[in-house]
Amino acid sequence: MIVNCRCSNCGARRSLPKWPRLYLLLPRCRLCGKRRYRVDRYRMSLEKNRALRCFCTAYWFAHRRGSGWCEHGKKTEEEHAAREMKFYSQQEAMRAR
């Protein structure tokens, strides 16, 4: 498991192959040369939540799985069709103005 860390002195990012407390001698920071690291909890939570990201064709960007128009959502085909009809009718109403 890769552990995302930051240098405690300068804040530089570093990915270590194991937890910092398991090292007898930590590797040196590439920027300041110190051997003190802390675990970057924010980056670790991003790694954990990557399983929730979806890249289906409903959106052109990465999005949360099952949200809105996502193909992996719990909505039925009829609900999607009704939502599309409402969207296109709103678009036509805006063009008519």
Domain range annotation of the chain: 1-52, 55-97
List per-residue pLDDT tens for the chain, 97 residues long.
788 999 999 999 999 999 999 999 999 999 999 999 999 888 887 766 666 778 888 888 888 777 777 877 766 566 767 777 777 777 777 777 7
Note the pLDDT of residue 47: 67
Note the pLDDT of residue 90: 77
d(Cα 30, Cα 14) in Å, to the nearest integer?
9
Note the pLDDT of residue 50: 67
| Bridge partners for 16 per DSSP | 3
**CA-wise closest residue to 13 among 25, 35, 33, 30:** 30
**CA-wise closest residue to 26 among 43, 12, 38, 11:** 38
Note the pLDDT of residue 92: 79
d(Cα 12, Cα 7) in Å, to the nearest integer?
5
Domain 1-52 has CATH 2.20.28: yes
DSSP letter (8 states) at residue 58: T
Give the contacts of 29 (CB within 8 A, at least 6 positions apart): 7, 9, 10, 12, 14, 35, 37
